[in-house]
């Protein structure tokens, strides 16, 4: 993969149903997304990761898929999808789809056939037990909401396994026929021009599930086969996996048999995300410095995907309890803010108290971490959440385009919207929207545009080696990225206390250092005496090579 387009891109995650409604039925759709494609191009993102858009009963945000080879009629048709691919290609945007392969909806024809006929060809496509499994009350992904991981089907006369809700039965990934079908699904969408797939629940895909079985018994070969089969057809297709596992297990998802990423090219950096949240909560750089230093060395072509706020809850499950409580106290102190005992269901803007300075510093910090940044729709304008909505739907409210009715999302009656718009408080659509921020040069939206376009000129972030620089005071985080194309130092003040620091680095050669991005214009550029405002940030280039990377 000569181009390795994913190394220096910016991924924008959006829910088509909540982005833009084109026909006034209250549900966002593909034609609505097409009408907003120029907004995304101007913003500076390079890849659109679309949350599930397959036919679905929509009991779990579309992750309960009932047909992997089509588009949900409420969102449009395959023809509309083809048109989206055309307009995205014209603007240099790539499309990444959510790939839900661990399970299906219980309304999927495969499962309907499997549970109604023991002789069905699809019976062995799911995981069954004739006896009540001894571990049916263990391993729930949604504790407090989900009661079991095995459910009895009267129609089937057997128990079926489901890592998630009981309406999402798990596929038997060990079945060769299932594996062949997974390849067909990926190949189908790849043939329509899709450039990447976000693999949902990757660790559960490789579990060798059986009643009372060992959850640590895993088979990575399904990931290897999927990558190999698809790569023969199109070499630049990228797989981005959701694998929230300890550091020592991560490299296996990349695959390192020959020193290259021969399974998956990208993984979400969950450990780094937890450390970022902890450092922001403490206003101390120690956690993120340790996490950055502890990141496993990736195989060739491997890449992290960094994020601050994803489409689910802020998952703090791998933090020690005391550290998790620290983040809860800072960003989700109320019970209604928290979810599953491990996470926070708020947007970053509200977690940071609506402080634009702190928001900008936090996103600057994320976008300078090693890897490819992922941005959730609406975060570029500082959207909030609706805690009246259940579970993770709190942050899945319609995009706020303007101060007009329904935030410019839809012309439908308010009660017909797929989800209510945020209509009250400091993060309501009348206070926070694209149209108003477009008119203000110093708005969060305009800042994001400048930041994203600047980052595209800093290829060292995506492909370089990152090193923590030890400076004082502890509320300042300093690190550098070095690559054949140059070297850049990044400074972030996690507190509101202004400070001055001395960097333990010197410019390379005769070129003077150059400030490429900062929270304000700082006078002078003496690396031995650098000023940094409260919640300030500075990107300083030490060296630039004009050779082709």
DSSP state of 365: H
Among candidate residues 21, 207, 242, 519, the one labeled active-site is 242
DSSP strand pairing (150-153 vs 530-532): unpaired
500 strand-pairing partners: 531
Per-residue b or e along 85-109, where b marks 16 or more CB atoms closer than 10 Å to that residue's CB: beebeeeebbbbbbbbbbbbbbbbe
Q: Can 242 be counted among the known catalytic residues?
A: yes
Angle at 495 between CA 466 and CA 283, to 5 degrees: 70
In Å, the largest CA–CA distance within the chain is 78
Distance separating alpha carbons of residues 513 and 527, to the nearest angstrom: 8
How far is the C-alpha of 112 from the C-alpha of 156, rounded, in Å? 10
Long-range contacts of 206-212 (CB under 8 A, 24+ apart): 206/173, 207/163, 207/173, 208/174, 209/127, 209/161, 209/170, 209/172, 210/127, 210/129, 211/129, 211/131, 211/133, 211/134, 211/135, 211/150, 211/159, 212/133, 212/134, 212/135
Question: Out of 72, 200, 313, 379, which one is annotated catalytic?
Answer: 200
Specify whether the CB–CB gap between 350 and 385 falls below 8 A: yes
Closest among 148, 348, 314 to 244, alpha carbons compared? 314
Element (H or E) spanning 183, and its range?
helix 176-191
What is the C-alpha separation between 326 and 338, in angstroms, rounded? 13
Instruction: Tell whether the torsion through CA atoms of 24, 25, 28 and 34 is positive or negative.
Output: negative
Closest CA to 367 of 445, 302, 304, 433: 304
* CA 66 from centroid of its chain's CA atoms: 23
* Whether residue 106 lies in the annotated active site: no
Distance (Å, whole) CA 440 – CA 433: 11
Where does residue 76 fall: left (phi above 0), alpha (psi -120 to 50 degrees), or beta otherwise?
A: left
Give catalytic residues, as residue numbers. Answer: 200, 242
């Amino acid at each position: 993969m000569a181009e390795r387009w994913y190394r220096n891109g910016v991924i924008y995650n959006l829910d088509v149903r909540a982005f833009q409604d084109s026909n006034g039925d209250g549900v966002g759709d593909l034609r609505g997304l097409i009408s907003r494609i120029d907004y995304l191009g101007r913003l500076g993102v390079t890849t659109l990761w679309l949350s599930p858009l397959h036919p679905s009963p929509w009991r779990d945000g579309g992750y309960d898929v009932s047909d992997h080879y089509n588009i949900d009629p409420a969102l449009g048709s395959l023809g509309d999808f083809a048109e989206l691919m055309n307009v995205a290609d014209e603007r240099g945007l790539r499309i990444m789809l959510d790939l839900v392969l661990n399970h299906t909806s219980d309304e999927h024809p495969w499962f309907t056939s499997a549970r109604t006929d023991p002789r069905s060809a699809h019976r062995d496509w799911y995981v069954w037990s004739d006896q009540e499994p001894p571990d049916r009350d263990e391993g729930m992904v949604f504790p407090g909401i989900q009661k079991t991981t095995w459910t009895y089907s009267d129609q089937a006369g057997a128990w079926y396994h489901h890592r998630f809700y009981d309406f999402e039965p798990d596929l038997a990934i060990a079945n060769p026929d299932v594996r062949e079908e997974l390849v067909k699904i990926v190949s189908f969408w790849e043939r329509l021009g899709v450039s990447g797939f976000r693999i949902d629940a990757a660790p559960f895909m490789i579990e060798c599930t059986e009643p009372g079985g060992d959850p640590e018994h895993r088979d990575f070969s399904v990931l290897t086969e999927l990558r190999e089969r698809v790569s023969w057809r199109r070499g630049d297709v990228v797989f981005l996996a959701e694998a929230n596992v300890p550091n020592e297990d991560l490299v296996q998802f990349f695959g390192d048999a020959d020193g290259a990423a021969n399974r998956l090219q990208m993984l979400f950096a969950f450990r780094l995300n937890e450390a970022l949240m902890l450092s922001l909560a403490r206003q101390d750089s120690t956690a993120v410095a340790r996490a950055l230093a502890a990141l496993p060395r990736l195989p060739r072509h491997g890449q992290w995907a960094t994020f601050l706020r994803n489409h689910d809850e802020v998952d703090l499950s791998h933090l020690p309890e005391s550290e998790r409580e620290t983040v809860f106290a800072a960003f989700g102190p109320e019970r209604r803010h928290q979810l599953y005992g491990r996470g926070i269901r708020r947007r970053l803007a509200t977690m940071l108290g609506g402080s634009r300075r702190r928001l900008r510093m936090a996103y600057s910090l994320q976008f300078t971490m090693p890897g490819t940044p992922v941005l959730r729709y609406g975060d570029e304008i500082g959207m909030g959440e609706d805690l009246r909505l259940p579970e993770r739907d709190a942050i899945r409210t319609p995009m706020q385009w303007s101060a007009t009715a329904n935030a410019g999302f839809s012309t439908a009656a308010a009660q017909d919207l797929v989800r209510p718009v945020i209509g009250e408080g400091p993060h309501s659509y009348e206070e926070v929207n694209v149209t108003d921020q477009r008119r203000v040069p110093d708005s969060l939206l305009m800042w994001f545009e400048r930041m994203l376009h600047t980052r595209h000129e800093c290829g060292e972030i995506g492909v370089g080696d990152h090193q923590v620089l030890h400076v004082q005071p502890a509320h300042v985080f300093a690190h550098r990225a070095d690559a054949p194309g140059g070297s850049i130092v990044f400074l972030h003040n996690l507190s509101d206390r202004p400070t001055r620091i001395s960097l333990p680095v010197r410019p390379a050669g005769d070129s003077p250092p150059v400030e490429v991005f900062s929270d304000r214009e700082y006078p002078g550029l003496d690396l031995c005496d650098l000023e940094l405002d409260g919640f300030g940030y500075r990107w300083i280039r030490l060296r630039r090579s004009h050779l082709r990377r």
